Chain A
Amino acid sequence: MAVMEDDLVRQDAATLASAIARGEVSSEEVTRAHLDRIAEVDGEVHAFLHVLNDEAMESARAIDARRAAGERLGPLAGVPLALKDVLTMTGVPTTCGSRILEGWRPPYDSTVVERLRAADVVILGKTNMDEFAMGSSTEHSAYGPTRNPWDLERIPGGSGGGSAAALAAFEAPLAIGTDTGGSIRQPASVTGTVGVKPTYGGVSRYGLVALASSLDQPGPCARTVLDTALLHAAIAGHDPRDSTSIQAPVPDVVAAARQADVRGMRVGLVRELSGEGYQTGVSQRFDEAVKILTDLGAEVVEVSCPNFEYALAAYYLILPSEASSNLARFDGMRYGLREGDDGARSVEEVMALTREAGFGPEVKRRIMIGTYALSSGYYDAYYGSAQKVRTLITRDFEAAFTQADVLISPTAPTTAFKIGDKVDDPLAMYLNDIATIPVNLAGNAAMSLPVGLAPEDGLPVGLQVMAPPMADDRLYRVGSALEAALVDRWGHLLIEEAPQL
């Protein structure tokens, strides 16, 4: 089957990769098609902060040349990808959605980028995000919001709204996100795409500009479960430059995605992640998906994780605490913005003016909360207690995983909300991540995949699958089985129902 050129951007990565491998299409053609698509629609969507037009074409041609010379290339060779602007890439601007890093071009590649290069993936550019990954809507980017391709008045989720929107707008078939409390999964949920937060330590954080070191995790994003698995396999694995990276073989996620079989698997419904606060259409589509899993031969059980109730509170102490320290280095002394250096002001004044000018309100809010929570006299009550809650949540997961192989819940309590709706109400914004946060606190693996449109607003609903640490393969078994059943029912992927841009 030859891939039609004007269809290139609508193909999934696996299809493109094999078409390129068979010589039916060149990486140059595929890359050109995506760059054209970006030029065509990104004015409206604003998924990208920086597009690597020349560099992407150059690497595509180099890959084509190597293939022509008979080199055997990897399973994603020549396929384009959108990179979240929180990962370093040598010489390419890395802003993290912040003014404070404007103009900074890192002198080194993150491990994720290094592995993408090794896999001969073509990097198209850097995608928009909430400033330093703080947010659930991408409205907190200093460079303006990204819009949801399903409805340009709505948010694409966050913090990785740019990566998810790039997939949903067919600007790229693959994207990299990072997930600290749901920043891969919630954007996937509200854009009808797939996103995985691997086990903490599964993918190297080296070169990921840290928000909260103990929670951050880079991961793969795509429009299909198999593509997500292929990308997962390309970036995962031990990295000696990240001490928290796990020294163990990566679970075979690609085989699991191809297996697509849930027969005999025990699927746990988390009682605490349903009911009140969840939009009707979200619950409805979720319940239908549970029914499908049962029909596919899974054994569905209900489990309880009583301490999940405290997850949000604990998260909003641990994250700001670590962030307040991680973001200290942005002081105008060495790189990025420097404000007020008139030769008369002191170092302290220049640092303060730089941080005042360079950080947005949400970043300042969290730095202040974190600074307070770590202060002497408050540490035990705040940071200390939050760490205890974290342990309790980990134990809840451990207990639940004795009853079930995977746990499931809606990914987010609602579908995409309107831009501006929650931007002035931090607590309402934080509640978006109520179902995704427990996984980050415990370090587990989780996936979001689309399970339909909410009847009341016609917007995508995501289902979250959660697995124990280093059992990432289970996500793909369940996700691909469910995806296949839904595609059977609909006759196509959900994303095909997205309106034309």
Chain B
Amino acid sequence: MSTDHDTIPFDEAIAVFDPVLGLETHVELGTASKMWCGCPTEFGADANTQVCPVCLGLPGSMPVVNAAAVESTIRMGLALNCSIAEWCRFARKNYFYPDMPKDYQISQYDEPLCFDGYLDVTVETDDGPREFRVEIERVHMEEDTGKLTHTGGATGRIHGADYSLVDYNRAGIPLIEIVTKPVAGAGALAPQVARAYVTELRDLMRALGVSDVRMEEGSLRCDVNVSLARPGEPWGTRSETKNVNSLRSVERAVHSEIERQAHVLLNGGRVVQETRHFHEDTGRSTSGRSKEQAEDYRYFPEPDLVPVAPSREWVEELRGTLPENPSVKRARLRAEWGISDHDFQTIVNAGALDLVEESIAAGVDQAAARKWWTGELTRVANDREIELDALGVTPAHIARIEALLADGSLSDKLARQVFEGIIAGEGDVDAVVSGRGLVVVSDDSALLEAIDVALAEQPDVVEKIQGGKVQAAGAIVGAVMKATRGQADAAKVRTLLLERLGVSE
């Protein structure tokens, strides 16, 4: 019997079908106050402490549009090459759910603030970088819902829970929803195109300063639409995978949905138009509610709000304030740094472009900045499955560590321990150095003492070195480093011990 998620291998699926993608991305805007009231938007406050009659939807309360949210949305629309509506309204999306204080969501329906744009994204292939244009259908404003926590039961979901708690701190936080037009023709690259698009959106929003896009806090959420069709045939029925909340998951969700739908189709089945839920742990999705019994949201223009009518002068003024587009910025930095395509792409893939740039601006040598961000720190971020910039390490930290390396206070090895401390929340560079007592042992007499002990313990090695096998000195250096708990400069140890033995390189 077929389960809900039987698959065939991706390569086989792509050999038969062309995928078509559609992405709906919700992002919490970084405004100081909520969409309709003055409540703060900070993440992590105690439940139901950032609420008022308006965001609780108490009877009689009324929304007032946050002008900063409108401005952010317009700037995002302009950066996505959209047209900006001269006049548009909010609409009510009606459905009952306990996380929604009013039992309707104020959103935009057939009159989005921004529409008809595009975003160019680059995907690395074996034949070099390839560019795709993702067309943008619309960018609109809406409000976030509260957050439900289901307690008891096995799944942590509403069905089977003993009870549920609602936190309305998130209710009324401004969201923008960015909807693409169908993206066809990416073929086997579809999963990477999806990831590159969301990455690009994230970078764009950060560059614009409209959101800090903390994906681990759920401030960017993606719904991924996928359908398959044989080449030349009309597009197939699509599924919508909800709550895909990391860049990696976007790619995985597209990948696995292509495999799943291909299995259904190749076995004579029919893809059901439905909502699916993505599970980060398994990388698979399970069926949610079927769109064929879809709710009727009974949209109608929100009568409590007046239309939004941004003047053309204002829109042009905002266009003038747009920062450098991330793709333009990439081209500029690639030229400025003069490094190979491969090295540059390594930085981009690590999501380290801004971090490297800022580190260089903070005085760090370019090669050192690249080394730390794409090496050690990327490895740690990957291990922890978080974004590089969520580690807690900043360009200023890199600059300080480099300064300590330069004056010999730290060794490369100790620097890694400093990063470990910063990531563990032990404070900034100097705090970790003093807290952990990380000081390079540079006192020659202390070193010589340790060298003498090591030489005495390993007479066979001493014999080899004196016999001309200078490379055997490594074993002694290692023993000294161990004895000094890594707080010695290895090069210096080597020089000292060779001197001691009267051997030259």
Task: Kindly report which residue of chain B lies nearest to residue A377, judged by CB atoms.
Answer: B296
**Band of interface residues on B:** 20 to 34
A434 at the interface (CB under 8 A from B): no
List of B residues within 8 angstroms of A110 by Cβ:
60
Q: Let me know if A243 is at the binding interface, CB within 8 A.
A: yes
Q: Are B102 and A329 in contact (CB-based, < 8 A)?
A: yes
In the assembled complex, the Cα of A361 lies from the Cα of B103 at a distance in Å of 21
B103 near A207 with CB under 8 A, answer: no
Q: Which A residues between 52 and 97 are near B, CB-CB below 8 angstroms?
A: 87-88, 94, 96
Residues of A within 8 A of B392 (CB): none
| Cross-interface CB contact of A87 among B60, B158, B166, B305, cutoff 8 Å | B60
Q: How far is the CA of A324 from the CA of B306 in the complex (A)?
A: 20
- The CA of A161 and the CA of B53, in the complex, are separated in Å by 28
Residue pair B59, A328 in contact (C-beta under 8 Å): no
Per the CB 8 Å criterion, the residue count for chain A at the interface is 44
In the complex, the answer to whether B60 meets A334 with C-beta atoms within 8 Å is: no
Q: Which of B57, B59, B96 contacts A351 (CB 8 A)?
A: B96
Select the stretch in B62-70, B190-198, B208-216, B454-462 that faces chain A: B62-70
CB atoms of B62 and A371 under 8 A apart? no
Q: Tell whether B94 is near chain A: CB-to-CB under 8 Å.
A: yes
Smallest beta-carbon distance A318→chain B, Å:
9
Name A's interface SS. Answer: loop
CA distance A108 to B64 in the complex (A): 17
Known A108-B53, A321-B300, A325-B300: A240·B64 in contact at CB below 8 Å:
yes
Given the known inter-chain contacts A213-B304, A244-B306, please indicate yes or no for A329 contacting B103, CB distance below 8 A: yes
Contact B58 A335 (CB under 8 A): yes
The yes or no answer to A210 lying at the interface (CB within 8 A) is yes
Q: Which of B57, B62, B303 contacts A329 (CB 8 A)?
A: B57
Complex contact B59–A329 (CB within 8 A)? yes
Complex CA distance for A108 and B57, rounded to whole angstroms: 12
Q: Which residues from B are CB-within-8-Å of A351?
A: 96
Give Cα A311–Cα B166 distance, bound, in whole angstroms: 43
Is A209 among interface residues, defined by CB-CB distance under 8 A?
yes
Chain B residue nearest to A244 in the complex (CB): B306
Which residues of the partner chain B approach A241 to less than 8 Å between Cβ atoms? 62, 64
* A205 and B56 contacting across the interface, CB-CB below 8 Å: no
* A206 with B58, Cβ < 8 A, contacts A334-B101, A351-B96 known: no
Chain B residues contacting A374 (CB-CB under 8 Å) are: 94, 298-300
Complex interface: chain B residues within 8 A of A101 (CB): 59
Min CB gap A19→B, angstroms: 34
| Cβ A328 vs Cβ B60 within 8 A | no
Please report the C-alpha to C-alpha distance between residue A207 and residue B59 in the assembled complex, in whole angstroms: 7
- Is A243 a contact partner of B305 (Cβ separation < 8 A)? yes
Within 8 A of A (CB), among B78-105: 92, 94, 96, 98, 101-104
Given A325-B300, A348-B96, A374-B298, CB of A108 within 8 Å of CB of B58: yes
Which residues of A are found within 8 Å of B57, using beta-carbon distances?
Answer: 329, 334
Min CB distance A464 to B, Å, is 25
Query: Is A412 in contact with chain B by the CB < 8 A criterion?
Result: no
Q: Indicate with 1 or 0, residue by residue over B33-66, a CB within 8 angstroms of chain A CB atoms.
A: 0000000000000000000010011111111110
A214, CB-defined interface residue at 8 Å: yes
- Chain A residue at minimal CB-CB distance from B297: A376
Contacts of A399 in B (CB 8 A): none
Least CB distance from B111 to A in Å reads 14
> What is the 8 Å Cβ interface bit string for chain B, positions 285-324, against chain A (1 contact, 0 not)?
0000000000010111001111000000000000000000
Does chain B have a CB within 8 A of A48?
no
In the A-B complex, list the 7 residue pairs whose CB atoms are closest, starting with the nearest.
A328-B103, A213-B303, A374-B298, A214-B303, A207-B60, A209-B59, A88-B60
A-B contact pairs, 25 of them (CB 8 A): A87-B60, A94-B59, A106-B60, A108-B58, A108-B60, A206-B61, A207-B60, A210-B60, A210-B304, A240-B64, A241-B64, A243-B304, A243-B305, A244-B304, A325-B104, A328-B96, A329-B103, A330-B59, A331-B96, A333-B166, A334-B57, A335-B58, A335-B59, A376-B298, A379-B299
9 new A-B contacts, CB < 8 A, other than A96-B59, A212-B303, A334-B101, are A108-B61, A205-B62, A206-B61, A207-B60, A214-B303, A243-B306, A325-B298, A328-B94, A333-B98
